[in-house]
Each structure stands twice: as C-alpha cells, then as structure tokens.
Amino acid sequence: MRVEIQGLSELQTLFKKLDKDSKCDLITTLLNKTHDLAKKNMAKHHKTGKMEHNLYKKKSGCDTAVVGISDEGMMVDWKGKSINYALFVHFGSQPHFIHPRFKKALRWSKDSNVYHSDYRAKDRVQEKTIFAFAKAVRHPGYKGDPFLYDALDEASSDVNQIFGRFVDGL
C-alpha cells in the first residue's frame, strides 16, 4: 500500500516558519479537537463507560501529541495474550467461539421484564432479571468502528482552517 500526501513539503516549510508558541498552540488545538471528536464518536459504544473513561490525551513538548485508550480495566485474554478490548471495538474481530474460563457455563442477562407482584397494587413494581446460559457461544464477528481514525480524519479536515489562523502574516 502506498500513501502519498500532496503539499506536505509546503506544509512542513510553513510549520518551520512558525514560532514555538504558535507551533504549541497548533498542536494543542488539533489534539483537543481530535480528543473531543473521539469521545463523541465512541459514545455509541457506551455500555459500562470504561472505554470512554480511559480515553486520554497526552502532549510531549510542542511536536508530539497522542490520543489513546489506556489499558486500565480494559484487558481481555485473546489467544494466550492480554489485549486491550478497545482494539476489537476499533478494528473488529473475526468470527470465533467464546468458552468459559473458570466456570462450567457462560452466563449473561437477557432483557429485563418488569412485572407487578400484585396487579391491584400498582405502586409495588419489581424487576425480574432473566439469565441465559451456554457452554460456549459462537460470536459472529464484528467489522469494527474506527472511531479514533474517524476523529483524526475529521479533525484533519479542519487543519487548513486551524493552520490558517497561525500562518496569517507569514
């Protein structure tokens, strides 16, 4: 695969002409925009909130910025390795079987049914959780949702506008 970026040398030349404060401001602006868009894009994957909580941004000096998802509480076993499950959300997974690790069966909750314990007492509502069990399940796979890449692409589409604010007068 070959990627060609047109206008990169001109962009690098303009970037070199910027003073240090403008470079830092430009990187910070792009970092914050990418982080905010990633948080917005990943909202549809909100179940426990762990992945959204672990989204971070880090800036080292004026030339390096990172948006990522930390490993804390996100690790799952996969083929004998410990992997951050955000990778599966972002890049997808092939169809596979899921087996219990420490128990005899898998268990998950199905949709809860709300019922009245006494149909005459409308104020006494109880929630009944129904569980499903299986010795193994076949996961159909997932095509993935590259929410970080999408955030970077969206932030990059505004780079001309953002960059233009810093290079006016050069």
With bands split at pLDDT 50, 70 and 90, how would you rate the model's confidence at 154? Answer: confident
- For 95, counting Cβ atoms within 10 Å of its Cβ (0-12 exposed, 13-18 middle, 19+ buried), the class is exposed
With bands split at pLDDT 50, 70 and 90, how would you rate the model's confidence at 168? Answer: low
Helices (H) and strands (E) in the chain, counts: 6, 10
Structure confidence at residue 125 (pLDDT): 53
pTM above 0.75, yes or no: no
Q: Model confidence over 30-75: pLDDT tens digits? A: 889 989 999 998 888 877 788 888 999 998 877 788 898 999 888 8
